[in-house]
Amino acid sequence: MPRQKSEPARALSGAAGSVVFDPARAGTMNGNAKRSRVDADELADLRRQLFAHLTTMLEADPNADGAKLAQPDATVAAATLTELGVTSTMAMALKGWVFHELEAELTTFQLMRSPTSELLEIIATLRKSELGVAIPPRLE
């Protein structure tokens, strides 16, 4: 029976080659997903938390243009964090904040290159999965 996908898988290139990210499977990749459903209220709450933190970060940098976050919602939703003025240094701090506060482990590529609407869905999906990796038993 062929598997149906809710949206197309996207290829991500990295040092280890090409990896296909399938949002439909993101919550079950490690086999221990807590939940797989993302609701609108949760996305709105994540958006509020992320954008409040981004605003604080951009206001603290005299070279940053915090006005980009005040654009219409559709414009901000389609923009990446790079397009919104987040630097690589800010991204490292933001990545740590997302890990500790939102309990989602992102790659820098996901954080900087995903449109913010997609980024929120990735964070929501990842925070429902177990963090870390499973170490296989030792073969003797």
Using a cut of 0.85, tell me whether the model's pTM lies above it: no
What is the DSSP code (8-state) at residue 138?
P
CATH number at residue 113: 1.10.1200
Digitized pLDDT (tens) for each residue of the chain, 140 residues in all: 454 444 444 444 444 444 454 555 544 444 444 445 678 888 999 999 999 999 888 888 877 776 777 788 888 889 999 998 899 999 999 999 999 999 889 999 999 999 999 999 999 988 877 655 556 677 76
Residue 76 domain flag: yes
Strand, helix or coil for residue 122: helix
Q: Is the dihedral of CA 87, 89, 95, 98 positive or negative?
A: negative
Q: Residue 94 belongs to what domain range? A: 67-130
Query: What is the domain count for the chain?
Result: 1
